[in-house]
Amino acid sequence: MLDIQPIPAFDDNYIWLFTDAAGERACVVDPGDAAPVEQALQAAGLQLDAVLITHHHFDHVGGLPQLRERHAPRVYGPDNPAIEGIDVRVGQGDSVEVLGRTFEVLAVPGHTLDHIAYFHSGDDPLVFCGDTLFAGGCGRMFEGQPAQMLASLDALAALPPATRVYCAHEYTLANLRFARAVEPENEALQARQAAAEATRARRAPTVPSTLADELATNPFLRCREAPVIAGLKAGEQLQGEAPAQVFASVRAWKDNFRG
């Protein structure tokens, strides 16, 4: 199993770090801040070999200039000229080889138009999905449209259920409180919320989740499920029953939710 460590950054970001088999060279995902990455590299005696970028937001790319200057890693990222310091620009259907691991690139626009995810298949599948899919939620639609964002989430939902979901923020408790408002009777969701509260009480990350967890409890992946549609109706939030309308309804409700 690929060992992946969280490097906490800012208030609630996770920069993910993994190493080669020898434990000497490292890759980080979405280094919004260089300082905590430098600390983690030094503490473990690692050399920074590669960086994966999911999208252009500052809290995902802000550490790039300093890390490039000090370590000259190979940087993979979206084909967006607004991001400086990408060595290899990748998109849907590309695959990248990092520290002996292969990752398939998925285009997942919606949170931003340049957003991509990195999927590693095999016995131990995992995805680095940035701000597209969160544990119990999804990113806000800053640049995209509901049908587009839903298609991106559908692409992630089609990955193997065992896929570990490495998102970029610790938003889980707030997401699950909202999910309970949408689906108060969902027992898997109730159990997940209790488990996540216990995890956060000991200050441990709730990420990664698994795609199976998300399919059972995340309202944004459940736009075609009757209890979600019923919950939207009960909350007087339903804009229409087509999946993209259901998705837009869940997203709009969450944007205004004060739980």
> Among 33, 49, 56, 57, which one carries the catalytic annotation?
57
- Is 131 a catalytic site residue? yes
71 marked among binding-site residues = no
Q: Which of the residues 112 through 141 are near Zn ion (CB under 5 A)?
A: 131
Taking the complex as a whole, how short is the minimal distance between the CB of residue 112 and Zn ion, in angstroms? 6
Report the candidate in 34, 38, 29 with the shortest Cα–Cα distance to residue 5: 29
The set of long-range contacts for 36-44, using a CB threshold of 8 Å and a minimum separation of 24, is 36/7, 36/8, 36/9, 37/7, 37/63, 37/67, 38/66, 38/67, 38/70, 40/5, 40/7, 41/71, 44/19
d(CA 259, CA 248): 19
120 marked among binding-site residues = no
> Among 55, 56, 71, 115, which one carries the catalytic annotation?
55
- Is 169 a catalytic site residue? yes
- Is 120 a catalytic site residue? no
Q: Which stretch binds Zn ion (CB under 5 A): 13-21, 49-57, 68-76, 82-90?
A: 49-57
Sign of the torsion formed by the C-alpha atoms of 66, 70, 76 and 80: positive
Closer to Zn ion by Cβ: residue 146 or 231: 146
Closer to Zn ion by Cβ: residue 107 or 229: 107
Q: Which of the residues 53 through 72 are near Zn ion (CB under 5 A)?
A: 57
Which residues, listed in sequence order, are joined to residue 6 by a DSSP beta bridge? 16
Residue 32, token pair as written in the block: 């919004």
Q: Report the binding-site residues for Zn(2+).
A: 55, 57, 59-60, 111, 131, 169
Site residues, Zn ion (CB under 5 A): 57, 131
Positions marked active-site: 55, 57, 59-60, 111, 131, 169
